Structure 1
Amino acid sequence: MAQSLESKNCECEVCKNNHEFILPRDIIEAVQNRNLVIFAGAGVSTESRSVYNYTLYEEIKDLLNLDKGANLSFSELMSQFCKQPNGRAKLLRKIKDRLDYVGSFPELERRASKFHNELSTIHQITEIITTNWDDLFERKCGAVPIVTVQDFAFWNNPGRKVLKIHGSINNYGTVIATKEDYDKCYQSLNSGIIGSSLKTMLATKCVVFIGYSFGDEDFNK
């Protein structure tokens, strides 16, 4: 669909990323052959600037009254927040409140799920990997969530699946947020069945990373 000159020049959070592009032939063929995997980060979901003016990282940093120059990774910041009394419960509540807030406003949810709604129309893409905690892939794309080792028994079943390597807000005990969580998660991925399957997909399939920045902690690891 052609864009108007006005929308092309608009620098708002909704329009500024609407760039024209040519889709690489390799990606088209991978979709046609059902060999494409989506690896999605927070940038395609509720942490997009078109949804919130501030990220969870910025919100937690502000709550801790840290200097703006403090250079902590995401997981280190979450660990510091959890050191306060009932810190883990407060962090999980803060995460859930952010997701619930988006879900309570149709326009915000529409913005947060823009990518998911588009993906839902491409039936050849059946495997999704994400570090996101929300359930938008489940609700908008009809994907079966694979969160624990026990869930992985369903990975080869027909239909679309989403491998949630950092847990799900629908299961508080699986949420990966702090440095301690990340360390356990990477150790598990290095030696467990989910990690082995993840490595196989990365080595044998066409994987498109979306919603990450080059400074992202997950992307770099």
Structure 2
Amino acid sequence: MDKLSVAGLLIAILAIYVGFSLDGGHLSALFELPAFIIVFGGTVGAIMLQSSIVQFRHALSLLSWIFYPPRYDMERGITEIITWATKARESGYLALEDTALEIEDTFTQKGLNLLVDGAELENLRTSLELDLELYREHNLRSANIYEAMGGYSPTIGILGAVLGLIHAMSNLTDPALLGQGIATAFIATIYGVGFANLLYLPVANKIRTIVHQQTMYREMVCEGLVSIANGENPHAIENKLSAFRLVQ
């Protein structure tokens, strides 16, 4: 579990709660079902309108990354590549066939299989770079969905505020209904701005960060496999890949 994400979310919620309480507010005042339905439902509906069903489902599946992000160890990856280079140099590419079967990462497994099959150097690089670009683009589009939600949410919050004021103005003679309408107006604005800045935009940026880490790791794997296919010695490959340690 990503403890930093958990801590960040808790700190944000506690900061709002403590600040509101110190000013004499009550937490129950922040819960307004009509305002929640308007802001959250309106935002989700707008995103569904602009997205394909495949991309929308993929964006939902990436939510688990916020607390359980995939881990890519650059140091371990470099060590594995050097091991593969040594084995290939001593016993040939076919010696990596069993290794490919043990690899869980589909990108790395594909690269090793291409190497074992004797793919030409240029074809190996082109195939891996194409996979890398498409994978990166697919996941970044999911990040863009959450960023778009961060843009729609405050605006829909304003829409909820206007609706609440309309309801309040139509009940000027009834203090109970007047108060409810005003509460919906203000809380809808809070929901719109709060969801955008405490949830949607941070989630979008978190996904982008993880995709960047994945991309760098896979670029390292691609460069390592191409170097092996090019017949470079393990020491030279290690020197080439050592720069990737800086982006861990």
Which of 1 and 2 has greater Rg? 2
Query: TM-score normalized by structure 2?
Result: 0.23
Higher helix residue share: 2
Higher strand residue share: 1
Query: TM-score normalized by structure 1?
Result: 0.25
